[in-house]
Structure 1
Amino acid sequence: MSDQFEVQAELREDMGKGASRRLRRHADKVPAIIYGGGKDPQPLTIIRKDLEKSLENEAFYSHVLTVNVNGDPQQAILKDLQRHPAKNFVMHADFMRVSAKVALKVNVPIHFLNEEACLGVKMEGGIIQHQATDIEVSCLPGDIPEYIEVDMIDVKTGDIVHLSDVTLPEGVTSTALALGEDHDLAIASVIAPKGGSVDDEEVEATDAGEEDAAEEDDGED
């Protein structure tokens, strides 16, 4: 993993909804919590602008972070993020401590490749639909991929890309597939263009050609 993230946090002593509102409105800080790892949960505060800047990087959501709590560095991942339903600003962040030797579950974003050059799009006029934007995987913290690539180049109209079609890095497994074949979820598909399938268009073109030929024969008679 190329990116290293460090979150500066302070222990929060003033608890409750009222205290959280004051933090957000007057101190421009975000209430947070870090838990797990066999230690007690610790309520935190984080400077809003610093957290929001980190959130602009996609890798921040799946990387192991260093949460520096009053000078005590703790390894953790961002487990949950609560945003205001209307204004979309961050209201609360949850961090879960991790151990280098203990596997964890984390959602990793999907990067779809060659969508414009996709066979079903370029040659058949189809449209790509995404059924998922990330994949939940299980692995050791040091093996968490920044993203997972799904190549769409050879996907035809009517084809569906499933979890089982995705190549995961060594040491990384899909939590859904671990439950059995019934959980082989769809990741993406290429659907026919609006108004009919490619086969329908070919039939229409053939019929039109036959009609033109018939009209020419009638004209000669």
Structure 2
Amino acid sequence: MAEGYVLKASARDRVGKGAARSLRREGLVPAVIYGGKQPALPIAIPAKESTIALHRGGFMTHLGTIDVDGTSHLVIAKDYQLDPVRDDLIHVDFLRVAKGSELTVEIPVQFLNEETCPGIKAGGMLNVVRHTVEMTVPAEAIPDALVIDLAKANVGDSIHISAVEIPEGCAPTITDRDFTIATIAAPGGGAGADEEAAEGEEEAASEE
């Protein structure tokens, strides 16, 4: 698991759109820490450092530490909003995380050896059905990605979750079927691969 971010914050006593606009003019982002059977804590975090943490990657899958007026809170980002023009953070929801707990997180899928994949070298195309997989994971050992090796994948092959090495202590939240992660579609869009890919996409949509 990659190292998480650390942010300094201050508690805010004013909420609402007017207060939020005022904070943003000061270079701050309104946010809230909730959960853990404690009251929600409205906070203000620095816009520059927070936006850097977001665009560094893994913002929704890495634990963060937020120092609120000298008190540290272990958190994970659960939702955020961006300015539609500047792409800067304008609000973040953080969930409190207790040590030793489990979280439900969308883990990204990473593919290795695309350049040597027999199916792709033969003209096939990697069709990614799921770019992320929802998993139950230990809070202090969230995997950066589910890694899939394409070194032996051929045209027409489908890669299912059962073929993926799952990190210790982690488990997919979908347990009633061996769902598809990706396929190697035939050159020119062979029927078999395309049908299975479409099937997988429909399955993914129905599970959202």
TM-score (norm 1): 0.79
Work out whether residues 100 and 140 of structure 1, in 8 Å CA contact, stay in contact via their aligned partners in 2.
no
The alpha-carbon distance between structure 1 residues 89 and 130, as it changes in their structure 2 partners (threshold 3 A), is same
User: Separation in 1 of the partners of 2:21 and 2:188?
Assistant: 49
Q: Max radius of gyration: which structure?
A: 1
Partner of 2:79 in structure 1?
A: 80
Structure 2: state its 5+ residue gaps: 192-208
Pick the aligned partner of 1:193 from 181, 187, 194: 187
Does residue 68 of structure 1 match 2:70?
no
Cα shift readout 1:76-122 (whole Å, capped 9, x = no counterpart)? 11111122345432221111011112211112222111112111101
Partner of 1:135 in structure 2?
A: 133
Report SS of the residue matched to 1:20. helix
Partner of 2:58 in structure 1?
A: 59
> How many residue pairs align between the two structures?
191
TM-score (norm 2): 0.84
User: Separation in 1 of the partners of 2:109 and 2:134?
Assistant: 10
Cα shift readout 1:46-68 (whole Å, capped 9, x = no counterpart)? 11110011123223431221111
User: Separation in 1 of the partners of 2:127 and 2:185?
Assistant: 7
User: Separation in 2 of the partners of 1:196 and 1:173?
Assistant: 33
The Cα of 1:143 is off from its aligned counterpart by 2.1
Which is further off, 91-100 or 128-137? 128-137
Which is further off, 52-61 or 37-46? 52-61
Partner of 1:8 in structure 2?
A: 8
Which is further off, 104-113 or 34-43? 104-113
User: Separation in 2 of the partners of 1:91 and 1:85?
Assistant: 10
Work out whether residues 3 and 59 of structure 1, in 8 Å CA contact, stay in contact via their aligned partners in 2.
no
The alpha-carbon distance between structure 1 residues 55 and 96, as it changes in their structure 2 partners (threshold 3 A), is same
The Cα of 1:195 is off from its aligned counterpart by 6.8
Q: Aligned AA for 1:185?
A: F
Which is further off, 6-15 or 40-49? 6-15
User: Separation in 2 of the partners of 1:185 and 1:21?
Assistant: 44
Cα shift readout 1:15-42 (whole Å, capped 9, x = no counterpart)? 1112212222x11211111001111101
Pick the aligned partner of 2:123 from 120, 125, 144: 125
Query: Percent identity between the aligned chains?
Result: 36
User: Separation in 2 of the partners of 1:11 and 1:33?
Assistant: 9
Report SS of the residue matched to 1:51. helix
The Cα of 1:2 is off from its aligned counterpart by 4.6
User: Separation in 2 of the partners of 1:75 and 1:44?
Assistant: 14
User: Separation in 1 of the partners of 2:59 and 2:189?
Assistant: 42
Work out whether residues 111 and 150 of structure 1, in 8 Å CA contact, stay in contact via their aligned partners in 2.
yes
Partner of 1:44 in structure 2?
A: 43
Does residue 145 of structure 1 match 2:143?
yes
CA RMSD of aligned residues (A): 1.8
The alpha-carbon distance between structure 1 residues 27 and 161, as it changes in their structure 2 partners (threshold 3 A), is same
Partner of 1:218 in structure 2?
A: none
The alpha-carbon distance between structure 1 residues 165 and 86, as it changes in their structure 2 partners (threshold 3 A), is farther
